Chains A and B, each alone.
Chain A
C-alpha cells in the first residue's frame, strides 16, 4: 500500500499561517525515499517548533543512521504552531513529515525525542493530529509503535499511558536493533500482532514497554512496587551505551534548513558523558562513562560537515568541552586550518579556569569574539560544595579578570536558584560575586566599559541524580529570593549598572519538577492540561501555570496525592521511586551516599583523574572510560578548487597563467 503526500491539502493552508517555510522541508541533506521500496519506516519527532527541533543533534543522527539502511525510510516531523493546528483540524490534514509530507500514522514507528519533559503536551497534539489514539491501549496493528527516547525517557512513567515503548540512553545502535526486530516480525507475517512485537522489543532487556509492568501503591500514595505482569519480560530495563564514537561519526550530512533556526552551525559532539559529578546534572549522571571522539575524527567531521553544509560556524559540543583530553590541540589545529576563512569556532565554555580563556583566544583568532559564559551555578562557597561544583570565588574572579584584560567586554555568569539547603544568603552571594567581578574587571581592563550578565535558572530535581530525593522550593520563595537578589545587585548603583540580570520565574520549574519525578498518575494531569489547551509548555508565552495547578487539583486528589506531594516533598531513602526499575547503571546506594555527602558539603572528585568512586555505571553496563590523548595533530587542509577562471578572452583583469587549474 503506497502512501501519498498530504502536501496538496497542506499547501492551501500555508498562505494563512506564520513562517510557512518551516512546514515545507527542502533542507540540504533531506532524504526522500520510495515508500514501497522500503520495509521499515520511521517518523522521527522532536516535539517542539521546527526552529528548535531541526538543529537537534539526536534526531539528525538517527535520521542519517536509519536512512543509510537501504530498506529503511526515516522522515521527520515537528510540532505545528497553534495557527496551523487549528487549520489542519478544520480541514482534516493529518500530522505530516516535512520530508515527503507523508501522514505520521502510516509509519511503523513514531519515535519522539524528549530533551525536556515540557514537550509532553506537544506529543499529545501530534498524536491527536496524526489520528493515532492517545492511549497506547487503544492502538491496533494499523498504528505506529510510539517510542520515546531522549533524556526524559529515563523516567517515562508520566507518559506511560501514551507511549508503547521507551529507549534509555544512546540511540545509534538501538534504532538499528529495533528496526531489525520489526523487519523480522513483518517478514514472518506479523505473528501475534502488536502485542508480540512489543514483547519482542521488551525481551531485548533494553527497551521498556510500560504496559508489561504494573505499579502498586501504598495507602499513603507512595509506590509499593513496580513489577512485570508477564513472565518473559525483565525486572529492570537497562540503558544503551554507544562505545567508540569514532565508529559513529554522525551527522555526516547535517540537515541545513531554509527556515531560520536557533542554531545555524555545524555541530560535532567531541565527547559524550561527563564525570565532573555536579549533583543537579541529570545529563552528566545518565550518560556515563566519558567517551571521547578522537581529534582526527573531529577534524575530519568538521571538514566534511562544512563542505557539505556551507555553514560558517562550528560548535564543538559536549557536556563540558574544555575537558576533552586534546581540546588544546583540537582548537589550535582547527583555528590554524580555518585561519584565513570566515569560519568561526565556538564551544560551550562552562569551566571556570584560565585555560578556558586560552581556548577562547585561540577560537577568536579570526576576529570574531563570541561571548564567554561561565557557570559557577551557586553563589556561595557552601552551596557550591553542596552541588559539587568545585570552583572557588578566587578562581572565578581570576578567570573573569583574565577575560576582561584580554579584550572581552562582556561575560555571562550562570547560576541556579532553589538548590537543596539554599538560604537567602547563598543567593545574595551571587550579587556580591557579580560586584566583585565588575570591580576587579574595571581595574584590570582599565575601563569602566565592561559588563557581566547574571543569568539564573530554576533548579529542578531530576531522576537518577543524587538530588532525586530532594524537595523543591516553593515558587513564591524562589521569586522572593530573586527580587532580593535584584535589589542587592542594584544596591550599588555604579556596579549594578554594569550587571544585567536575567531569570525565570519559579512556577515553570515547579511544573517541570512535577513531570520529571512524576509517576503514571501524573499522566492524567498531562492529558487534562492538554485538553484544556496546553501546548508548547517550554515557551513562556504559551505556558500557563494556573492550567497545570487546576488540572492537578482536579485529577490528583483521587489518588490521595497533590502537586506538592510530587514537588516540594522530600523522599526518604527506602521509598520506591517511579524509575527504580529503569537502570541507568548508577548504584542507588551510591546515589544516596552522594546525596548524604552533599548535605555534609563533602566534594567528590572526577574519576578520570582520581580513582574510581564506584558510582556503578561501568561494571553494570560493561563499559569503560574512553579518553585520549592520542597524540595526533590536525594537518593543514588540502586546497579545494571547484570553479575555474573564465576563458582568457573574457579575463580582462588576470594573466591566464595565474588561473587556478581545474
Chain B
C-alpha cells in the first residue's frame, strides 16, 4: 500500500499481467456511495452509456478504483436500479470500491467535473454497513404531460386508482408480457402546474406525482401511463417528460427515505 500511494495515481490502477497468479489486485479499503442525476438532453443516456462514461470519468479524475480479481479485472462499481433511457433522474445511486481512501467531497467534485454537464454527481458519502439495494424499494416520479388539461388527467388518475387491477402490456426480454400496473402504485396525484413566468403563453400541462413500489416485473412510469390509457383513454398528444425525484425505502406513511441517510449516521458515529 505504501509504495502504491507514493507513485502516481495512474500507477494506482494496476492490472496484473495475465501470466501472473490471480489474486494480485489491491484490496478495497474504502467504499463510497454516490447519488447522481441525469438531466436535460442527457436523460437520453442509456445505462450502458452511463457506465462507460463513468469508467472514463474515474480515469480522468485519477480515482484509485479497486478492481475485481480474475483474468479480466473490472472496476468495482455497483449500480442501484437505473432509470429507463429517456427518463430524467435526480436520484440514481451507485457504490464504488477504492484501493486507497479519498475525501468524499473532493471525489464528488472531481467526478462531476470529469462527466459531461447533465450527468451530475450530487452527493458522496462513505458507505456504512448494509447494501444500497436493500435500502431501495420504491421510486418517486414526476410525469409532465404537456398539452393535457389537469382536469382530464385527474379523471384518468381517479379511474386508475379506482381499479383493483389494471392490466398493461410491454415488450420484455421474454417477449410481450401482460401484467398489473395498479398494485405497485402507492401514490398517484395530479398536482397544479407551476406558475408560468408573466407573459408566457399558457399551454396546459398536467403533472402527475407518482410513487411506485419495486416489484417484478418492474412497473415503470410508462406502464402507469399505459394504464391511464387502458382505463380512461388518456393519450398524451406529445411525449410525456418523466423525472425520477427520489428512490429509497418506503415508510408506512408513504414517504421515501433517502438510502444514504443511514451512511451519514454511520459516519457521524465514526467522527466522534
B103:A645 contact, CB within 8 angstroms: yes
- B1: chain A residues at CB < 8 Å are 654, 658
Interface assignment of B178: CB less than 8 Å from any CB of chain A: no
Residues 1-32 of A contacting B (Cβ, < 8 Å): 7, 11-12, 14-16, 19-21, 23-28
Q: Determine whether the beta carbon of A258 is less than 8 Å from that of B45.
A: yes
Interface centre among B1, B56, B67, B126 (most CB of A within 10 A): B56
What does the 1/0 interface line of A604-646 toward B look like (CB < 8 Å)? 0000000000000000000000000000000001111111111
Contact B10 A637 (CB under 8 A): yes
A651 touches B56 (CB 8 A): no
Kindly state the separation between the CA atoms of A654 and B117 in the bound complex, as whole angstroms: 34
A328-345 at interface with B (beta carbon < 8 Å): 338, 340-342
Q: Is A187 an interface residue (CB 8 A)?
A: no
Q: Does A501 contact B (CB under 8 A)?
A: no
Name the CB-closest residue of B to A636: B8
Q: Bound complex: CA of A421 vs CA of B51, how far in Å?
A: 51
Q: A574 at the A/B interface (Cβ < 8 Å)?
A: no
A341 touches B5 (CB 8 A): no
| Known interface pairs A20-B86, A654-B1, A654-B100; A641-B62 also in contact (CB < 8 Å) | yes
Contacts of B10 in A (CB 8 A): 338, 340-341, 637, 639-640
Assess whether B11 is in contact with A26, with CB atoms less than 8 Å apart: no
A644 pairs with B8, CB closer than 8 A? no
Contacts A341-B13, A342-B13, A658-B2 given: A643-B103 contact, CB under 8 Å?
yes
Q: Are B49 and A258 in contact (CB under 8 A)?
A: yes
Report the bound CA distance from A256 to B114 in whole Å: 11
| Interface pick from A132-140, A206-214, A303-311 | A303-311
Of B9, B18, B52, B114, the residue contacting A260 (CB under 8 A) is: B52
B102 lies within 8 A of A639 (CB): no
Query: Smallest CB-CB separation from B116: which chain A residue?
Result: A26
Interface members, chain B 1-53 (any A CB < 8 Å): 1-2, 5-11, 13-19, 29-30, 41-42, 44-46, 48-50, 52-53
Q: Which residues of B contact A219 (CB under 8 A)?
A: none
For the complex, is B271 an interface residue (Cβ under 8 Å from A)? Answer: yes
Q: Which of B5, B15, B48, B53 contacts A366 (CB 8 A)?
A: B15
Min Cβ gap A431→B in Å is 33
**Which residues of chain A are near B126, meaning CB under 8 Å?**
650
Contacts of B73 in A (CB 8 A): 342
Evaluate contact between A20 and B44: CB separation under 8 angstroms. Answer: yes
Residues in chain B near residue A546, CB distance under 8 A: none
Interface residue? A524 (CB, 8 A): no
Binds A, one of B104-112, B133-141, B206-214: B104-112
B44 to chain A minimum Cβ distance, whole angstroms, is: 4
Mark A228-272 against chain B: 1 for CB-CB distance below 8 A, else 0: 000000000000000000000000000010111000100000000
B residues in contact with A474, CB < 8 Å: none
Range class of the A interface residue count = 35 or more
Are B41 and A652 neighbours in the complex by a CB distance under 8 Å?
no
- B64, A260: Cβ atoms closer than 8 Å: no
Tell me, yes or no, whether B175 is within 8 Å of chain A by CB: no
The answer to whether B17 touches A15 (Cβ under 8 A) is: no
Q: In the complex where A24-B42, A367-B17, A639-B8 touch, is A645 in contact with B102 (Cβ < 8 A)?
A: yes
Contacts of A312 in B (CB 8 A): 55-56, 59
- Shortest distance from the beta carbon of B120 to any chain A beta carbon, whole Å: 12
Instruction: Let me know if B86 and A643 touch, CB within 8 A.
Output: no
**A310-B60, A649-B271 known; A654 and B15 CB under 8 Å?**
no
CA A644 to CA B106, docked complex, whole Å:
8
> A11-B41, A644-B106, A650-B270 given. 6 additional CB < 8 A pairs?
A258-B116, A260-B52, A637-B8, A641-B62, A650-B101, A653-B101
B interface list, Cβ under 8 A from A = 1-2, 5-11, 13-19, 29-30, 41-42, 44-46, 48-50, 52-53, 55-64, 67, 73, 85-86, 100-104, 106-107, 110, 114, 116-119, 126, 238-239, 267, 270-271
10 tightest A-B contacts by CB?
Answer: A639-B8, A310-B56, A310-B60, A310-B59, A367-B18, A20-B44, A646-B103, A15-B239, A24-B41, A367-B17
- Residues of A with Cβ closer than 8 Å to B? 7, 11-12, 14-16, 19-21, 23-28, 256, 258-260, 264, 306-312, 338, 340-342, 365-367, 369, 637-647, 649-654, 658-660
A-B contact pairs, 28 of them (CB 8 A): A12-B238, A19-B46, A21-B44, A21-B85, A23-B44, A27-B116, A28-B116, A258-B42, A258-B50, A258-B53, A341-B15, A342-B15, A342-B67, A342-B73, A367-B18, A637-B8, A639-B9, A640-B62, A642-B61, A643-B62, A643-B106, A645-B5, A645-B101, A646-B101, A649-B270, A652-B270, A653-B30, A659-B5
